[in-house]
Amino acid sequence: MAAPVLEVENLVKVYERRGQPPVRALDGVSFAVPRGEIFGLLGPNGAGKTTLLKVLATLLRPSSGTARIEGCDVTVRPLEARRRIAMVLQETAGELLLSVRDNLLTFARFHGVAAAAARRRAAEVMEKFQIAAEAERKVQDLSGGMRRRVQVAKMFLADTAVLFLDEFSTGMDPILKRAVMGFLREEAARGRTIVLTTQILSEAEELCADILILNRGRQAARGDLNTLKLLSAGVADVALTFAALPPGVEAAVAALAPLRSRLDGNTVELSLKAEEARVLEIVAGLARMGRVLRVEVGGASLEDVFVELLRGR
């Protein structure tokens, strides 16, 4: 395994609140991420993901523990650590009074990119993110989605060792999101380490080589997708599309006590924890209720793992 670019050891962050009990947002979190890996940080709201990113980005001081980026302790040498990172915040951020091009060039200037290289890269990145036509427009005149594009696009202007993305796809249309995921894979292949948080588990499933699931500031699970899916061994995802939704199917599904279920038009989706033979029996039973157009049975998804791990938390 390559030397880790990001090392976190026993990180604790306690928020002291006047007149209220302290909140332990991070409670002994440890992990390491090698160069060129896309690392996913998952967890429900309030799990500590954003706090962790803020500590890594030197925005917050941890209560105890250490975090290092290419060997630079974020608490002891914050400036050195910041030279190695770029961050897309969860909230939309931009120089609203400046043009799209100036937004990109300003970011490049702060990261020490030479003027000629910055102009060339800005032109390339604007093409990539389909914002070249808006290059001279002020960001305040753009839609929310376009502002988000500019915010993410500028991260490609500087070659920082680590890129933090907090819910990067918020406000992006599916086509652009897919394209950006491709760009992120290219960056990782070039040796850039990417740490992302997301609530959209399919994104993590597609992008991340390694995933850490946080819950209440602690590690709930850690590993690659296959390892995590083993945590949900025996869970199957079933989807049946009927020609017309049969009467009573909703009650029949509820009676099966699935891990989760969803009715979408004429399609019934459910996750079941049962032996394979029993799953097939259930599918056959449901299929007898009406004319079935399509049946899908698959193994556990990351969402199943997530739900099962955090159930009853």
Partner 1 sequence: MGPLAAMIVREAKIRATNFTFLFFDLFYPLLYLLVFGVGINAAMGSPALAGGVGYNAFFLAGVLGMASIGIATNSSWSFFLDRDNGIFVEMLTYPMRRSEYLLGKVLFNLAVAVGQAALTLALGAALLRIPVRWERLPLLAAVIVGGVAGWFFFFSVFALRIRRNDIFNSVINILYFALMFASSLFYPLAPLPAWFRAAALANPLTWEVDLLRYASIGLGAPRQLGWEAGAFAFFTGAGFLAAVRSLREQG
Helix (H, G, I), strand (E, B) or coil at 27: strand
Strand order in the sheet with 292-299: 260-264, 267-273, 235-242, 292-299
Cβ 87 to partner 1, closest distance in Å? 5
Dihedral sign computed on CA atoms, order 123, 120, 104, 91: positive
Residue from 24, 35, 77, 83 binding partner 1 (CB under 8 A): 83
Report which of 141, 190, 219, 242 is spatially closest to residue 37, judged by C-alpha positions: 190
Residue from 95, 159, 206, 269 binding partner 1 (CB under 8 A): 95
Taking CB under 8 A as the rule, does residue 162 contact partner 1?
no
Question: Which element (helix H / strand E) includes 54?
Answer: helix 49-56
Name the residue nearer to partner 1 (CB basis): 92 or 130.
92
Cβ 128 to partner 1, closest distance in Å? 20
Residue from 23, 32, 59, 200 binding partner 1 (CB under 8 A): 59
Region from 1-9, 37-45, 93-101, 191-199 binding partner 1, contact rule CB under 8 A? 93-101
Q: Whole-angstrom Cα distance, residue 151 to residue 227?
A: 34
- 245: Cβ–Cβ under 8 A, 6 or more apart, which residues? 263, 265, 266, 268, 290
Name the residue nearer to partner 1 (CB basis): 77 or 260.
77
Q: Whole-angstrom Cα distance, residue 93 to residue 61?
A: 22
Cβ 135 to partner 1, closest distance in Å? 15
Name the residue nearer to partner 1 (CB basis): 115 or 230.
115
CA angle (189 as vertex; 183, 190 as ends), nearest 5: 90
Taking CB under 8 A as the rule, does residue 115 contact partner 1?
yes
Region from 109-117, 207-215, 239-247, 299-307 binding partner 1, contact rule CB under 8 A? 109-117
**Binders of partner 1 among 63-82, rule CB under 8 A?**
79, 82
Q: Whole-angstrom Cα distance, residue 246 to residue 126?
A: 50
Chain contacts with partner 1 (rule: CB under 8 A): 54, 57-60, 79, 82-83, 85-87, 89, 91-98, 102, 106, 109-112, 115, 138
